[in-house]
């Protein structure tokens, strides 16, 4: 299995009809594809647009002609109205395939500025995947005005690359109304435009020469937004494919190794990117010393660090920070993102995971450092 964890980004043009109504046929086809992937033990996360378009269908029709749908506050109202409607469709249709879905609404600030919140989001998504529940993620349009005002950083293409990085996805599939990246705009030059099957390095020059704004009034991304998102994902160790979502079965073709759309190979392996990031954010003054049992489990069995294996805590740190893991001789053996602060770990070190709640009165996770947030050195 080349790919295990896959993020699928669904564009507004796919999830909504031309009149703005939700495309139930597309959602049904997508659910059948996801059902097959889940049965094959793939891990699926969806990034879905469509809340604004759904909101238009629910608002009083007399208001439609008298409001500016591009005004930020109006789009926020439409998103607030449409998001529950969108999720209702997903849940009802996916339930027919015996699939459970969950909703996660994110903002840029939550992902990029708050380490503790970032870790909570990551842990939640990881746990949903473990329970074989498909997270459906969207920008929180009600509070995130950047996305609605069309600034390039806030579109769902960029959100999909951030989520892919956060959960160490192997593959990001960006489904769109177009078949991939072309040599020129196929809508303007249908005869001369040729599909590019693979681009090994996408950078600023490619973005400036090949990108373009969105032509969909309901969406916020265009090809330039997609290329910037691809650049971000590829340097984080995630392969990316832009493909037509008009037939969701294209996802199965991609998984089976068929050439579909435009392929952008990752510039780094995930473990290389993770190791580099952790080392850059690591401080030897913030450390956990572990016993030989924990040392062997981490180095040889790729396991999480649990409370029983911790002997001592050094330094002051909060949940979400990078800490060193030392053996009994104070040799650096690993580093990772801690789920607990130094004060919390001091209360639960050496104890069983089941005793965390008795000592703290609450429990974030059973692991001090989850194996997905840890690298050996």
Report the half-sphere exposure of 221 (CA within 13 A, side-chain side): 28
Range of 53-57, 149-153, 195-199, 228-232 with top mean pLDDT: 195-199
For domain 5-268, give the CATH number.
3.40.1160.10
Q: What percent of the chain has pLDDT over 70?
A: 88
In sequence order, which ranges of the chain are alpha helices (DSSP H)? 12-15, 24-39, 51-58, 61-64, 72-95, 108-112, 115-130, 145-148, 156-166, 204-210, 223-234, 250-255, 270-280, 292-301, 342-348, 356-360
| Per-residue model confidence (pLDDT) at position 68 | 66
Distance between CA atoms of residues 250 and 252, nearest Å? 5
| Per-residue model confidence (pLDDT) at position 210 | 54
Q: What is the average pLDDT across 73-83?
A: 87
Q: Which long-range contacts (CB under 8 A, 24 or more apart) does 342-345 make?
A: 342/286, 342/313, 342/315, 342/316, 342/317, 344/319, 345/288, 345/307, 345/310, 345/313
Listed range (64-68, 254-258, 284-288) with the worst mean pLDDT: 64-68
Q: What percent of the chain has pLDDT over 90?
A: 56
Nearest to 373 by CA among 307, 305, 294: 305
Which pLDDT tens digit goes with each residue over 325-335? 999 999 999 99
Place of tokens 């033990």: 41
Residue 150 pLDDT > 60, yes or no? Answer: no
Which pLDDT tens digit goes with each residue over 104-149? 999 887 877 778 888 899 999 999 999 999 999 998 877 766 544 4
CATH topology of domain 274-376: 2.30.130
Between 356 and 184, residue with greater pLDDT: 356
> Whole-model pTM?
0.81
User: Where are the chain's structural domains?
Assistant: 5-268, 274-376
The kind and range of the H/E element at 311 are strand 310-314
Which pLDDT tens digit goes with each residue over 32-77? 999 999 999 999 999 998 888 888 888 876 676 666 666 778 888 8
């Amino acid at each position: 299995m080349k790919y295990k964890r896959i993020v699928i980004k669904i564009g507004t043009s796919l999830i909504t009809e031309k009149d703005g109504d939700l495309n139930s046929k597309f959602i049904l086809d997508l659910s059948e594809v996801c059902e097959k992937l889940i049965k094959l033990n793939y891990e699926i996360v969806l990034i879905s647009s469509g809340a604004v378009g759904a909101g238009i269908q629910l608002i009083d029709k007399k208001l439609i002609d008298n409001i500016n749908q591009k005004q930020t506050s109006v789009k926020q109202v439409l998103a607030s109205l449409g998001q529950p409607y969108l999720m209702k469709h997903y849940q009802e249709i996916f339930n027919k395939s015996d699939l459970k879905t969950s909703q996660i609404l994110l903002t840029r600030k939550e992902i990029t500025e708050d380490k503790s919140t970032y870790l909570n989001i990551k842990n939640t998504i990881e746990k949903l995947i473990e329970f074989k529940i498909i997270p459906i993620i969207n920008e929180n349009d009600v509070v995130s005005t950047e996305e609605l005002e069309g600034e390039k950083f806030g579109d769902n293409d960029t959100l999909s690359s951030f989520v892919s990085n956060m959960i160490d996805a192997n593959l990001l599939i960006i489904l769109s109304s177009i078949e991939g990246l072309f040599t020129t705009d196929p809508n303007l030059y249908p005869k001369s435009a040729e599909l590019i099957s693979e681009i090994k390095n996408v950078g600023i020059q490619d973005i400036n020469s090949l990108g373009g704004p969105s032509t969909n009034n309901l969406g916020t991304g265009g090809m330039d937004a997609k290329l910037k998102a691809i650049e971000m994902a590829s340097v984080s160790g995630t392969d990316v494919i832009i493909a037509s979502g008009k037939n969701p079965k294209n996802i199965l073709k991609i998984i089976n190794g068929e050439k579909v759309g435009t392929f952008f190979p990752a510039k780094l392996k995930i473990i290389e990117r993770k190791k580099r990031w952790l080392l850059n954010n690591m401080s030897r003054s913030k450390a956990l010393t572990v016993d030989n049992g924990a040392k062997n489990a981490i180095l040889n069995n790729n396991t999480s660090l649990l409370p029983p294996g911790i002997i001592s805590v050094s330094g002051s740190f909060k949940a979400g920070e990078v800490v060193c893991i030392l053996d009994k001789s104070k040799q650096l053996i690993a580093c990772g993102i801690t789920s607990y602060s130094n004060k919390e770990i001091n209360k639960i070190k050496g104890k069983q995971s089941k005793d965390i709640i008795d000592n703290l009165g609450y429990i974030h996770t059973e692991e001090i450092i989850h194996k997905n947030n840890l690298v050996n050195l």
